[in-house]
Copies of this chain bind each other. A is one copy, B any other.
Amino acid sequence: MDAMAKGTTTTRTARPTAASILAAAARAINRRGVEATRIADIAAEAGTSTGTVHYYFATKDDVLLAALKWANEQPYARVDELLGRDDDDVVRLATLLELSIPYPGPQRDEWVFFLELWGWILHRPDLVPDGESIDSRWRSYFVDVVRSGTASGAFRPVAPPDEVADRLVALVDGLGLKAVLGQAWMTPERMREVLLRFAADELRVPYEALDRR
């Protein structure tokens, strides 16, 4: 845990806060859940004192909220990088779907953050805009690739491209949810199969084209 990103004052572009505390908070949230996370947990995780946490963030709410937003931003760099490697829309869709599955490790962690954020939004209407922006960003990945693939003729969607994209996103959410929760009948492995078969059906692409593990 003592990664101690010390010099990471990186880019003074409006970020006066210590990233290491956010990362620590994110780790704590991932382990215990937002509501159960105490300032002391964050401090311990960051290898510092509770006083320091309060030096950078006025209130507990501030840290937790910042950490949740931060954690939800993290995956995008990786996703962009992976999606940028290839410009074949079929491959890009396959990558996107693969990234949507809560395999143990970072991807499961990201799902946990989603769930925590959703649970918080539910009783904090002021956070709805945050949820919306994160969600629309994720959704646009699907919309873009489906539109692009349809335009190029790689996909022959059974419904308007945007509607198919919405269906894909909803299916990912519904399946992923059960998989993160650890339900026996919906493992990441099974999610992958259901998801790929569905995408293949909806976009009229052979299953094998998406099955590029």
> Which A residues form the contact surface with B (CB < 8 A)?
32-33, 35-36, 112, 115-116, 118-119, 121-123, 125, 128, 131-132, 135-136, 158-159, 163, 166-167, 169-175, 177-178, 180-185, 194, 197-198, 201
Closest B residue to A118 by CB, please name it: B181
Q: Tell which of B32, B119, B122, B174 touches A172, judged by Cβ atoms closer than 8 Å.
A: B174
Known: A119-B115, A171-B171. A132 touches B183 (CB 8 A): yes
Main secondary structure of the interface of A (DSSP, over half): helix
How far, in whole Å, are A159 and B201 apart by their CA atoms in the complex?
9
Decide yes or no: A182 and B125 within 8 Å by CB, A172-B174, A173-B177, A177-B177 being known contacts. Answer: yes
Q: Which residues of B have CB within 8 Å of A135?
A: 178, 183
* A-B contacts, 20 listed (Cβ < 8 Å): A32-B123, A33-B35, A33-B123, A35-B36, A36-B123, A115-B122, A116-B119, A116-B122, A118-B181, A119-B119, A121-B181, A135-B178, A135-B183, A163-B197, A167-B171, A170-B171, A170-B174, A170-B194, A173-B177, A174-B175
Given the complex, which residues of B lie within 8 Å of A159, measured CB to CB? 197, 201
List 6 tightest A-B contacts by C-beta distance, closest first. A170-B174, A173-B174, A174-B174, A35-B35, A119-B119, A33-B123
